Amino acid sequence: MIVLEELSKSYGAIRAVHRLDLEVRPGEVFGFLGPNGAGKTTTIRMMAGLLQPSSGRVVVGGYDMAAQPEAAKRILGYVPDRPFLYERLSAIELLRFLAGIHRLPRDVARARALKLLGEFDLLGRAEDLVQSYSHGMKQRLAMCASLLHDPQVLVVDEPMVGLDPRGARFLKSLLRRICREQEKTVFLSTHSLEAAEELCDRLGIIHHGELVACGTLAELRQLSGSERARLEEVFFRVTAEEVEQGDGG
Q: What is the CATH number of the domain that holds 68?
A: 3.40.50.300
118 part of a folded domain: no
Q: Supply the pLDDT for residue 241.
A: 53
Residue 236 lies in a domain: yes
- The number of domains in the chain is 1
Taking CB atoms within 8 Å and a gap of at least 24, the contacts of 16-23 are 16/42, 16/209, 17/42, 17/43, 17/46, 17/53, 17/206, 17/209, 18/208, 18/209, 18/210, 19/56, 19/210, 20/56, 20/206, 20/209, 20/210, 20/211, 21/211, 22/204, 22/211, 22/214
Whether residue 44 lies inside any domain: the answer is yes
Domain ranges, residue 59: 1-75+155-160+184-249
What pTM, to 2 d.p., does this model score? 0.88
Residue-level pLDDT at 39: 93
Task: Establish if 247 belongs to a structural domain.
Answer: yes
> Mean pLDDT for each consecutive 10-residue tract of the chain (249 residues)?
96 94 93 92 95 96 95 94 89 96 94 93 95 90 93 90 78 81 88 87 94 93 79 86 42
Q: In this structure, is residue 113 part of a structural domain?
A: no
In a domain, 89, yes or no: no
Flag whether 35 is in a domain: yes
Determine the pLDDT at residue 243.
41
Q: CA-CA distance, 128 to 52, in Å (whole number)?
A: 37
pLDDT recorded at residue 171: 82
